Amino acid sequence: MSQFWINFIFVIGSFIIYTAIAVWARAKSTREFYIAGGEVNPVMNGMATAADWLSAASFISVAGLISVGYVNSSFIMGWTGGYVLLATLLAPYMRRFGAYTVPDFVGKRHGTKTARVVAVGCLLIISLTYVIGQMTGAGVAFSRFLEVSSTNGLLISSVVVFFYAVLGGMKGVTYTQVAQYIVLILAFTIPAAYLSLMMTGHILPQTGLYGEHTASGLPLLEKLNLVVRDLGFQDYTADVSNKWNMFLFTLTLMVGTAGLPHVIIRFFTVPNIQDARWSAGWALVFIALFYTTVPSLAAMARLNVLETVYPQGTDKPALAYDERPEWFKTWEQTGLLKVDDKNKDGRIQFYNEGNKTFAEGTAKERGWEGNELTVNNDILVLALPEVANMPGWLIGLMAAGGIAAALSTASGLLLAISSAVSHDLLKNTLMPHISEKTEMLYARLAMTGAITVATWLGLNPPGFAAQTVALAFGMAAATLFPALIMGIFVKRVNNKGAVAGMLAGAALTIGYIFMYLGWFFIPGTNTFPNTPEHWIMGISPLSVGVIGAVTNFVVAIGVSLATEEPSEEIQEMVRRVRYP
């Protein structure tokens, strides 16, 4: 059987499972559509939460980021740490409050439609920018594994999400995400275990990372450091030069994660407060299973690729282009791997030409005229089974896993968008007298509209993935997280303070990002070059979210203290949430 048909069976088979689950668990009421009836088992909710979080960026891109080395470990520390904040500071109290959505909590806590509408605006910016990467990631996975264009792949993804999200609502999405987590975690950990066993003799990648590289007899990390150093790259274990920015970036990812609306609403779906705590704990376990595997996979995959390019060692001639393996040819067709024989010797030189000392020394001595191989780090995971000559069924499983990761997060984000529109903007703001049946209709129409907009943005993205993700996490950190924390723990914060805080945090974060990444991400419109010497106080645009959060706290508390106290009814509500 050809690899195409193996991939097709895995992908289509998983789609059939997702659709069948959505039909079985379809929502029949607004409570089931918004919060799955509030009856989800905490273990299953933890698994669904993990799938909600482990997006296309996590599955496809994180290993590529970490393959550069310790410098990018902030992603794992920040994203995992965010769940600790969720479990301790938000999950139990949000469940006790009993809201349907994040704007619902903000609106009821402050007793004003203005706060609710501002929260809806923040949610839409966060979710729409974040969903772009998910839809695009699904399109890339389809393009590679089912041999269709990325545009057609994205359209297929949209149709699949439409069926199980619009039909099932939160109830259908929850049980579908359980299945998607199982698919993606198997797709990620089995190839990682296979590679670890092949390279180190350890079946657990987590221990293989610190084991011995079988072929050389050296510790794996030492071997990797030697190879990358020989090619002019920074050591995999090298320290970080700008620890201040790394600290801020990690904090931004932590509070941004804790403020992501599609993750928070998962804790409204369990029966009680204790189950909300257990859900957060189980989610952390399921997420940790993935993220503790990432550094091992990243290091081994990078070494494996380098050994493919230099099969006899870095001091010997590089791989001849005519002898390149089949996976090279396959990924060249996607444009994510490119070869340019600059010195016309028929071989593929791969080194860090940005290292001037190496380029003008070793590289020049060996007759190299520039780096000839460009590898998009995003293929490190998707191409792994092919690079390591794994069985065809593992390639098919990897295809299903990458698509599952993209669709699980996309469905959660789209549900958060549709719930905010139908429940918060329509039912609780513009059309308060509509019936539950009409609200369900609007909820499904809002979901359809959200999928349409997300598909269009996926086809016409406003910026690079790094730009949109920076905006999503920065906005979540600077707006919703402080609003939720103060709404739970600071009873003196009133509606004016909450609104002013969210607007101030959003303005600072968006303004700072646009100054360096382009206004509305239009190329060439940035005010300052996005380089460390031009960053204010050494703060990169990716790290500004936590500064926006501090601004939100200060403004909200300051405005609240300068204006009237919240009503006694609202203060009593806060006391009940904190101390039942």
Quote the pLDDT of residue 202: 95
Quote the pLDDT of residue 577: 86
Do residues 111 and 489 touch, judged by C-beta distance below 8 A? Answer: no
Nearest of 359, 472, 336 to residue 55 by alpha carbon: 472
Quote the pLDDT of residue 475: 93
Quote the pLDDT of residue 523: 77
Give the contacts of 209 (CB within 8 A, at least 6 positions apart): 220, 221, 295, 296, 299, 300
Residue percentage of the chain with pLDDT more than 90: 44
- Range in 223-227, 229-233, 372-376, 552-556 with the lowest mean pLDDT: 372-376
pLDDT confidence tier of residue 460, bands split at 50, 70 and 90: confident
Q: Beta partners for 256?
A: none
Do residues 496 and 115 touch, judged by C-beta distance below 8 A? Answer: no
Count the helices and strands in the chain (H runs, E runs): 29, 2
pTM of structure: 0.87
Average pLDDT over residues 198-215: 94
The first and second tokens of residue 100, run together, are 């349907």
pLDDT confidence tier of residue 504, bands split at 50, 70 and 90: very high
CA distance 190 to 181: 14
Q: Beta partners for 339?
A: 373
DSSP 217: S
Quote the pLDDT of residue 518: 85
Q: What is the mean pLDDT of the chain?
A: 88
Residue 506 has pLDDT above 90, yes or no: yes
| pLDDT tens for each residue of 366-399 | 999 999 999 887 788 888 888 888 888 888 888 8
Q: How far separated are the first and last CA of the chain, in Å rounded?
A: 62
Residue 154 has pLDDT above 60, yes or no: yes
pLDDT confidence tier of residue 462, bands split at 50, 70 and 90: low
Q: Beta partners for 539?
A: none
Residue 44 has pLDDT above 70, yes or no: yes
| pLDDT tens for each residue of 296-322 | 999 999 999 999 999 999 999 999 999
Residue 270 has pLDDT above 70, yes or no: yes
Residue 541 has pLDDT above 60, yes or no: yes
Give 61 or 442, the one with higher predicted confidence.
442
Average pLDDT over residues 227-238: 92
pLDDT confidence tier of residue 134, bands split at 50, 70 and 90: confident
DSSP 240: P
- Range in 132-141, 396-405, 456-465, 503-512 with the lowest mean pLDDT: 456-465
Quote the pLDDT of residue 463: 52
| pLDDT tens for each residue of 284-300 | 899 999 999 999 999 99
Q: What CA–CA distances, in Å, run from 539 to 243, 246, 396, 580?
A: 11, 9, 42, 41
- Helix, coil or strand: residue 487: helix
| pLDDT tens for each residue of 7-30 | 889 888 988 888 888 888 888 888
Give 556 or 471, the one with higher predicted confidence.
556
Average pLDDT over residues 63-72: 84
Quote the pLDDT of residue 484: 95
Average pLDDT over residues 125-148: 77
- Range in 68-82, 133-147, 290-304, 312-326 with the lowest mean pLDDT: 133-147
Quote the pLDDT of residue 470: 67
Average pLDDT over residues 234-247: 88
Residue 492 has pLDDT above 90, yes or no: yes
Do residues 265 and 35 touch, judged by C-beta distance below 8 A? Answer: yes
Average pLDDT over residues 459-475: 69
Q: Is the dihedral of CA 241, 244, 249, 251 positive or negative?
A: positive
CA distance 69 to 58: 16
Residue 466 has pLDDT above 70, yes or no: no
Quote the pLDDT of residue 322: 92
Extract the runs of DSSP E, i.e. beta strands, from 460-552: none
pLDDT confidence tier of residue 554, bands split at 50, 70 and 90: very high
Residue percentage of the chain with pLDDT more than 70: 98
The first and second tokens of residue 208, run together, are 């293989």
Residue 520 has pLDDT above 90, yes or no: no
Average pLDDT over residues 252-279: 90
Quote the pLDDT of residue 298: 92
CA distance 105 to 488: 10
pLDDT confidence tier of residue 282, bands split at 50, 70 and 90: very high
Give 553 or 397, the one with higher predicted confidence.
553
DSSP state letters, 275-331: HHHHHHHHHHHHHHHHHTTHHHHHHHHHHHHHHHHSTT-TTSPPPBGGG--HHHHHH
The number of beta carbons lying within 10 Å of the beta carbon of residue 68 is 17
